[in-house]
Amino acid sequence: MHKVDVVIGAFFGDEGKGKIIDYLSVKSDISVRCAGGNNAGHTIVFDGKKFAMHLIPSGIFSGAIAVIGNGVVIDPAVLLDEIKMLEDAGISIENLKISSKAHIILPYHKEYDLLEEEIRGENKIGTTKRGIGPTYSDKMSRFGIRVEDFISPKFYDLLKQNLENKNKLLALYNMKTLELDEVFEEYSQYAKILKPYVCDTVSLIHNALESNKKVVCEGAQATLLDIDFGTYPFVTSSNTTIGGILNGSSLNASNIGRVYGVIKAYSSRVGEGPYLTEINDATGDLIRELGHEYGTTTKRPRRCGWLDLVALKYAVRVNGFTDIAMNHLDTIGKLNEIKLCVGYCDENGIVTTDYTTNTDELSKMKPVYQTFEGNFDATGVRKFNKLPKNAKAYIKAIENFINVQVSIIGTGPDREDLIVRK
Ligand code: GDP
Ligand code: IMO
Ligand code: MG
């Protein structure tokens, strides 16, 4: 039986997971999205055209069966838009499969997302406002509506019970309440269109594995946004790490093969929360411009900073990365000088390489940097031995620190701009 390869973001998201999963999917039969919803934005450059994928696994581009797993939360309107976008571009969505156990994002979840951010006031998270947190809350408190119920006659009664309750809170906060019949009419239309794609993805995935098919998993968000292992409360509402891959797909631990931790040669974060290696000066602005660091989903400017090896070591520990895929080597080479965070120093001058997600402790830490020479051109390079020596020295330092090979290196946004080391 083939082992399943997994792609997981190492930091705060937007590391370029879409591009790596697109590459791995070419040799795969099934590509599975396991968690999150349309808070994700995965960019694929296919046939010279840029696609921003929010829900459909990036493997759809290479003809793999694209599974939206049970751990995902689905906004049906967004999914239908995405289907249309692909069809308009001539990409077949015949291979799309939606887990009957995934949960549906409904209009009140989006209203609640706004309301909860307002309630948090100064401590807001800076969510994507897509209703992600409230949908996962409903799932856990067992008020959620699963895809299998959404496409069944049960939908009306479940929606009615939920809407009546949610409207009470919305009214209390003077927010617009929702009309049952209007929501039902709109969403039951969506359900009708999506029904043919729905199936038991647990059997689908395991039957495929047992027939020696190759499966890859597409992680969304990233390790430091994980509900348990991230910088809580500045996180998303799902397990974005290896555990979420298993729970969001029905794979078991012995199915897993290579685990690719995706990083950029620098780092970025969207939304609020601690970020030790953030650069708040012209160099940060320069990286943002060179790397085009604006949100794929919300278009917000991304906060930019240096690569943080303390956080990366933590991500290796939590996920068991067997390999690192590093994108944007071309971008970082455009700087004269590159810094790499190799330790955190506390107020007493004690340096640690153990990451903490405690936001109070983090606020007292200062990054310890090692400096490297930049000024190299890695753009479009496809062979490791063709890389300039400054680029190789930078990669070597990363590998030595975490003891994991940087096996895939991105040297540009295109599908072919990759170095793959054996
Ligand atoms: P994801 O959410 O992890 O899939 O990442 P995003 O798609 O949100 O952001 C990654 C951005 O970097 C996209 O605009 C990609 O096209 C771009 N990108 C990915 N790899 C590279 C690379 O190696 N070099 C350059 N210059 N851009 C890249
Ligand atoms: P991909 O898969 C970057 C961030 C939001 C916010 C926090 C909570 O493209 O890497 P949410 O809407 O999930 O409740 O927001 O998480 N966030 C992401 N940041 N990339 C993502 O996905 C993200 N998904 C959520 O900005 O700080
Ligand atoms: Mg993204």
Short-list 42, 101, 99, CA closest to 68? 99
Q: For ligand 1, which residues put their CB under 6 angstroms from it?
A: 9, 13-19, 41-43, 45, 292, 296, 327-328, 330-331, 410-413, 417
Catalytic residue check, 14: yes
**CA geometry: angle at 402 spanning 397 and 408, to 5°?**
75
Q: What is the pTM of this model?
A: 0.96
Q: CB of 9 closer than 6 A to ligand 2? A: yes
Ligand 3 centroid to residue 91 C-alpha, Å: 21
Q: CB of 159 closer than 6 A to ligand 2? A: no
Q: CB of 130 closer than 6 A to ligand 2? A: yes
The CA-atom distances, in angstroms, between 369 and each of 64, 268, 306, 345 are 42, 17, 9, 10
Q: What is the pLDDT of residue 422?
A: 78
- For the chain, helix (H) and strand (E) counts, in that order, are 14, 20
Q: Which helix H or strand E contains 6, and what residues bound it?
A: strand 4-9
Q: What are 366's strand-pairing partners?
A: 345
Which atom belonging to ligand 2 lies closest to the Cα atom of 270?
A: 26
| Residues of the chain under the 50 pLDDT cut | none
What residues have their beta carbon closer than 5 A to ion ligand 3? 14, 41, 296
Residue by residue, DSSP assigns 268-306 as EE-SSS--TTB--SHHHHHHHHHTT-B-TTT-PBPEEE-
Q: How far apart are CA 375 and CA 354, in angstroms?
A: 31
**Could you say which ligand is closest to the alpha carbon of residue 16?**
1
Sheet holding 215-218, edge to edge: 198-199, 96-99, 65-68, 30-33, 215-218, 4-9, 256-264, 323-327, 406-410, 418-420
Residue by residue, DSSP assigns 350-416 as -EE------HHHHHT-EEEEEEEE-----TT--SGGGS-HHHHHHHHHHHHHHT--EEEEE-SSSTT
Could you tell me if residue 82 is left (phi over 0), alpha (psi between -120 and 50 degrees) or otherwise beta? alpha
Q: CB of 10 closer than 6 A to ligand 2? A: no
Q: What is the pLDDT of residue 264?
A: 98
Q: Are 386 and 399 in contact (CB under 8 A)?
A: no
